[in-house]
Structure 1
Amino acid sequence: MDPKEAYNIRAISEVKLEPRGLIHGETWIKDNNYLTTIYLNGKPLLEGKVSLPRFHGDDLYYVRNDGSASLMVQSAYGEPRVAAELGKILKYERHVKGLLILGEDLLDKQSAIAPFSTEKMKYRFDGRGLLRTRTSLYLLKDRELTKMLGGDFDVTDFSTNGKRVVVSTTQPDDDLGLNGLYELDVDNGEMWRIDRKEGIISAISVNEGGEVVYLGHDKGKNPWAVKEVILPERGERYQCGNTCGSSVLTDVFDGAKERLIYHDDEIITLGQVGGEVNLYRIADGKVEKITQGNHVIRLFDYNGSLAYSFTTPEKPSLLFHDGIYDPNPHVKGLTPVKVNSKIEGWGIITGDNPTILFIHGGPHMAYGYSYFVEFQFFASNGFNVIYANPTGSQGYGEEFAKGCVGDWGGKDMRELLDFVNDARRQFNLSKKIGVTGGSYGGFMTNWIETHTDVFSAAVSERGISNLVSMCGTSDIGFWFNAVEAGVEDPWSREGMDKLMRMSPIYYVDNAKTPIMFIHGEEDYRCPIEQAEQFHVALRSRGVESKLVRYQGDGHEHARKGKPDNMVHRLNLKLEWFRSHL
């Protein structure tokens, strides 16, 4: 399999149940672009850079993304017209006053390159760049667009039953990204707080009767906190599986985001247990798991009937609605086998061949029963692929997720090394082994580089080498690094000392393993300076090191970066591991 073939897949990227039937979207790659076809009951409606299709009466609404975001209206017989134009459109819903739209202002060319000043710690964000505009709530009425709620903060979500409007924003602490839940009066712009504690709100839903529910937690700046389904006005909260929502990763480019649906008296959302993600129903005070299987559900909709997309280790993207539809009948990945180890993990075993250990990011994300283009690519090219969920991974309870805090590279690394030994014994593997990972997985790859010579080659992507410098350059590093290290003040001498001693670059004299760094130049989560300084430090000590930079790519370069760069990246990694393993 070559890289272009590996990415020759179609991903279910829209699932919406309408009175007319099921709308679904399929996204694929062509000429270095992501394109989408929208279908109604299996028949194509639209094609191009389009998203968010919805019917309002006889009119089809959708978003056209081509430099800017245009909300388009297609009547049954006329030509499509532009109803509103913004820099981004993330969501829209019908209200009695008009159409509520969540999006960002459209900047003119001069504003986009004008000098930028700030007094905030969070002034740029991965995938957005400098925060010249913020996410706001708009009202489209009689073809006139009015900003209803906006400022030097983000409106992160909203929901309405057509009358009541509930929003989540970062007003409680925009620098930390902590959310509050508010009711908004569309007539006069007045707001009042609904919840009492700050936390993270991933999604909101208001049912037909105006009751509100949200998915998230109210535990402040705790990245390891499990998410719950919370009804703040009832004082009720529920957990689906080991955490609500999904932290299971895939590199399939479906654009899935967390959501929940409040339909009549039923709440539908995702729940995760280890590496599997299923749908749950909350009704009459009880939580019921309504799908079963070793898979990861990605998108869903519910209006009394159910439709959802899901992925399996063998299949990139499947759609369920009155049966299962497979947009990729030509794709059948190799099936992973559970590894007998203390932590949950899997192996795609091709024989007594070289092996690559993959380490996930987060650290509070997880691997599981999802398709990975990269795993199948390396397996098809004669490598064994092994991957696991060490302490810190989400899906095994909050204590397990918190277990790596203040101890990055401690228990988690020991578990991974034991996992490698367990896999080698179980499958009788005797050849060389390599290691790779991205983000926190890049940190772990760098840490392994300076703490063991078990591996014959490494590839560190969008990784972390210096937790101190990252505090001043990352969009979230100034607080995230501190809480993950168990440090109160990252700029105190004690704080800097602990962060430095948790940094791979502090131990650079121990490094021997050949390593390649892959980084997007517009990565603001783990900025490219992290790779730059480690590469220079290693070269100064005669360690084989290669730095690869991708212009125009951010932190998501391996999951939804520029397609040509993703193909180039897989070729590079294959050449590196072939030559060293």
Structure 2
Amino acid sequence: MGKRAVKVKDLSLLEQYSDPQIGHLGKMYVFTGTIINEEQEYNEHLYVQDLYNDTPHQWTFGDVKDRFPRFSPDDQTIVFLSNRSGVNQLWSMSTTGGAPKQLTYLEHGAGEPHWSPDGRYILFAAVYKHDEDPSKEKKKDQDQKQNKASPLRIQRLKYKSDAQGLHDDQTQQLILFDVQNQTCKKLSTNDVDHTVGGWAPDSRTFAYTANVNGDHHIGQDIFIRSIDIDDDPRPLTGSEGTYHSLNWSPDGLKLACLGHTFTHDGATQNQLWTFEAETAEKTSLTPGFDAQLGDAMISDFQSAQHNPGPVWVDDQTLLFTASQAGRTGLFSTTLDGDVETVLDQNQHIYSFSLHAESNKLIAGISKPTDPGNFYMISLKDGKVKKQTDANASYLSEVELQEPEIMTFTSRDGWQVQGWFMYPYHYQPGDKYPLILEIHGGPHAMYGYSFFHELQVLTGLGYAVLYTNPRGSHGYGQTFVDAVRGDYGGKDYSDLMNAVEETIKHYAFIDESRLGVTGGSYGGFMTNWIISHTNRFHAAITQRSIANWISFYGVSDIGYYFTKWEIGEHLLDDPQKLWDHSPLKYAREVDTPLLILHGEKDFRCPIEQAEQWFTVLKYNDKEVEFVRFPEANHELSRNGPPHLRKARLNEMVAWFQRYL
């Protein structure tokens, strides 16, 4: 008897391994395993594994979310973030055993912990109002105050975000936890959000990033300061770009980071930079490496995992990930800018942790037929050894489709990469419908990573095509920049050409049964496609954009993203925004359309779906609209599990109805 097809409900059978962290002694590593429990909620537990043992051991249990585990410098303690007391606080466990111990009792919780090299302090960012004092901690015996809803006064340009919702006067402040005295003190004073950038080797100095220039400025600057509460931060950058993922060199003389200087606005590829800690002298180590540094991969399982940024092997060499041609691989560079490949295969390296002394690292790797496992990689000889076997039982039961790579030549001669997946139990001589999937971003990429949604569609008997049209990362700066100011132009041609070439190549595709779907930018393109061609027979648009004019004022990024991507601000040229809006062409739509949208989506707010639905429905188009309560822009990737499944079930029902 053959293996069964992948199903929507299989989300609850999958476990996600993430955030590996090797101990300082190089003997073991800790990581997070995420599952969906019987109540359709996420549980996150800590696992520990000896580097030379094939079996990880679960360390935490229960209906909790334990994340960001970090070893103390002597490997005797693991500090992690947990919601087991109701709000995320810092907890600790001894590596020799014992129950978790709560460390902080802050009213609004704590953030990702960063040990000082001497083990005396833990630095983190936490939410505070401008007039709060971190010494006034929330003790165990205090009841949570239930405040009634009150008016929200808005004075900032950026007053909401998809991740946090509506903003009040709370900001992310830098908090220092004294391990011996078990006390917290706030180090930062500016009423802006701060992100910890790591400790210098002296255990007195640290770096962080912040935007201190107001909401009209889009970027993050680097600052250095000491743990002395009256120390003034020293800027390393001058508001000319945006920087993140900071790491100090072992000798404490340099900082490495990823970032860019907005040469192509939001389509600018990251570079790897080093800064002299004393002089702030800046150097790009990758000016000739034409790829997106970091992880640009889109999937619904291992997307946006914790990435350590550039990691120092020694004072002269750094490791980093980069995304190109549908792969996220691992690379190294010297301070001379000599970039070499460490591991770059048809796969997705979504996280890694290095033990520099032994030249070994643990990498999280996903492939189209593997949701994700950890591998030990030796930098000395390049050997790769699998450490875990997550989801082995599940994978033995289901038939996963391995995508075939395709290359399409667009009308202007540009090469576009794509992948084709056969339907489950394909039988020669039979005809099958085809579904085109379009990724969001648009500055992201599809590639060699596990994608549950695509496997579900093939399991139902659909062939699936997904591509990286111009505007995608992975093919150089010119390619990723080419979509700006041309949404619905040559990117549209890239997608339609890929469909036509695929139909010609695979004779079993029934071109009378074509479907199209996508989210965010992919939702915009779905809307654009069905308002410009009747080639498709069913469409599903998700968290989409229909009207750039209103998007400008309602999206958390609209006031700058619209200029970056479409080319104009609202008051400068509203006609250009309207010309690129699918809503303008609503009367041309004849394809049956399902609209899926989260009610708490602040990136592409639900009013976009409401406008699109109302205009189409008024004009007697075949359209339905499904709203998902409590869901933001990340619904398909890390939204509430029951809503993720509901979304997939809606997609399945629509395509089965019309295809």
TM-score (norm 1): 0.95
5+ long unaligned stretches in structure 1: none
Specify the alignment match of 2:326 in structure 1: 275
- CA positional deviation for 1:531: 0.3
1:138 to 143, 160, 175: 175
Deviation digits for residues 255-286 of structure 1 (CA, Å, limit 9, x no counterpart): 50332222432311101112001111122422
Q: Distance in 2 between matches of 1:52 and 1:270?
A: 20
1:323 pairs with 2:403: no
Q: Percent identity?
A: 28
Matches within 5 A, 1:53-72: 53-56=69-72, 57=74, 58-66=76-84, 67-72=86-91
Report if aligned partners of 1:173, 1:179 keep a CA contact under 8 Å in 2.
Answer: no
**Residues 384-432 of structure 1 deviation map (CA, whole Å, 9 limit, x = unaligned):** 1100011100111111111011110000001100000011111112241
Asked if the contact 1:241/1:272 (under 8 Å) is kept, the reply is no
1:347 equivalent among 420, 436, 442: 420
Corresponding position of 2:285: 238
**Residue correspondence of structure 1 range 404-419 to structure 2 within 5 A:** 404-419=483-498
- Give the structure 1 partner of residue 565 of structure 2: 484
Question: What is the DSSP-based 3-state SS (H/G/I as helix, E as strand, rest coil) of the residue aligned with 1:73?
Answer: strand
Structure 1 segments, 4+ long, off by >4 Å, are 76-79, 106-112
Distance 2:270 2:158 in 1: 24
Shift of 1:513: 0.8
| Residues 1:446 and 2:532 are matched in the alignment | no
After TM superposition, the structure 1 = structure 2 runs for residues 45-56 of structure 1, keeping only pairs within 5 Å, are: 45-47=59-61, 48-56=64-72
Query: Where does residue 289 of structure 1 map in the other structure?
Result: 341
2:295–2:304: 8 Å Cα contact kept in structure 1?
no
Measure, in 2, the Cα distance between the counterparts of 1:547 and 1:253: 28
Q: CA 1:254–1:390 in structure 2 vs 1: closer, same or farther (change >3 Å)?
A: closer
Instruction: Quickly say closer, same or farther: Cα 1:99–1:255, change in 2 above 3 A.
Output: same
Distance 1:438 1:565 in 2: 15
In the other structure, the counterpart of 1:147 is: 186
**What's the counterpart of residue 44 of structure 2?**
36
Q: Which moved more, 1:383-392 or 1:65-74?
A: 65-74
Measure, in 2, the Cα distance between the counterparts of 1:396 and 1:460. Answer: 26
112, 119, 142: which one aligns with 1:91: 112
Partner of 2:20: 15
Question: How far is 1:253 from its partner?
Answer: 5.1
- Residue 462 (structure 1) aligned with residue 543 (structure 2): yes
Cα distance between partner residues in 1 of 2:197 and 2:522 = 33
Deviation, structure 1 residue 220? 6.6
Q: Are the aligned partners of 1:198 and 1:220 in contact in 2 as well (CA < 8 Å)?
A: no
For residue 48 of structure 2, what is the amino acid of its counterpart?
L
* Cα distance in structure 2, aligned partners of 1:526 and 1:202: 25
Deviations 1:468-525 (A, max 9, x none): 10111110011101221111x3223xx2111111100011111111101111111000
2:458 equivalent in structure 1: 379
Q: Secondary structure at the match of 2:648?
A: helix
Residue of structure 1 equivalent to 2:269: 226
| Equivalent residue number for residue 115 of structure 1 | 151
- CA distance in 1 between partners of 2:445 and 2:472 (Å): 5
Distance in 2 of aligned mates of 1:2 and 1:471: 38
Q: Residues 31 and 46 of structure 2 are in contact (CA less than 8 Å); yes or no, is this contact kept in structure 1?
A: yes
Q: Deviations over 1:69-88 (max 9, x none)?
A: 11012245664322114435
- Does residue 101 in structure 1 map to residue 119 in structure 2? no
In the TM superposition, residue 176 of structure 1 has moved relative to its aligned partner by: 4.5
Residue identity in the other structure for 2:341: K
Q: Give the 5 Å matches for 1:416-565.
A: 416-428=495-507, 429-431=509-511, 432-487=513-568, 489-492=569-572, 495-565=573-643
CA deviation digits over 1:338-381, x for unaligned, max 9?
12412100110224311110000011111011111000010011
- Is 1:192 paired with 2:247? no
**Deviates further, 437-446 or 348-357:** 348-357
Q: Is the 8 A contact 2:290 2:477 kept in 1?
A: no
Checking the alignment, whether the CA contact within 8 Å between 2:156 and 2:215 is kept in structure 1 is no
Letter in 1 for 2:65: K
What RMSD, in angstroms, separates the aligned Cα atoms of the two structures? 2.0
- 1:516/1:455 CA distance change after superposition, 3 Å: same
Question: Does structure 2 conserve the Cα–Cα contact (< 8 Å) formed by 1:337 and 1:346?
Answer: yes
Q: Which of 363, 366, 379 pairs up with 2:442?
A: 363
CA pair 174-140 structure 1, distance change in 2 beyond 3 A: farther
Deviation at residue 204 of structure 1 after TM alignment: 0.8
Instruction: Give the distance between the partners of 2:128 and 2:65, measured in 1 at CA.
Output: 19
Contact 1:197 1:220 in 2 (8 A): no
- Helix, strand or coil: the match of 1:171? coil
Contact 1:50 1:64 in 2 (8 A): yes
Quick check: 1:253–1:560 contact (8 Å CA) kept in 2? no
For residue 34 of structure 2, the aligned residue among 19, 24, 27 is 27
Paired positions, count: 578
**Greater displacement, 273-282 / 141-150:** 141-150
The offset of 1:549, in angstroms, is 0.7
Is the CA contact 1:13–1:254 (under 8 Å) kept in the aligned structure 2? Answer: no
**Aligned CA distance change for structure 1 residues 176 and 312 (closer, same or farther; 3 Å):** farther
Shift of 1:28: 1.4
2:80–2:112 contact (8 Å) kept in structure 1 = no
SS in 2 for 1:307: strand
Counterpart contact for 2:285–2:335, Cα < 8 Å? no
Partner SS, residue 534 of structure 1: helix
2:141 corresponding residue in structure 1: none
In 1: Cα distance, 2:195 partner to 2:654 partner: 41
Which range is displaced more, 276-285 or 107-116? Answer: 107-116
Contact 2:303 2:637 in 1 (8 A): no
Letter in 2 for 1:338: I
Q: Is this contact kept in 1: 2:307–2:352, CA < 8 A? A: no
Determine the C-alpha separation between the residues in 2 that align with 1:334 and 1:449. 28
- On the 8 A contact 1:217/1:226 being kept in 2, the answer is yes
Q: Are residues 546 and 419 of structure 1, via their aligned partners in 2, closer, same or farther at CA, if it must alter by over 3 Å?
A: same
Instruction: Provide the residue aligned with 1:82 in structure 2.
Output: 102
Q: Quick check: 1:573 aligned with 2:624?
A: no
In structure 2, give the amino acid aligned to 1:249: I
Structure 2, unpaired ranges of 5+: 1-5, 50-55, 133-143, 377-383, 410-415
- Once the two structures are TM-superposed, the CA of residue 163 in structure 1 deviates from its matched residue by 2.8
Larger Rg: 2
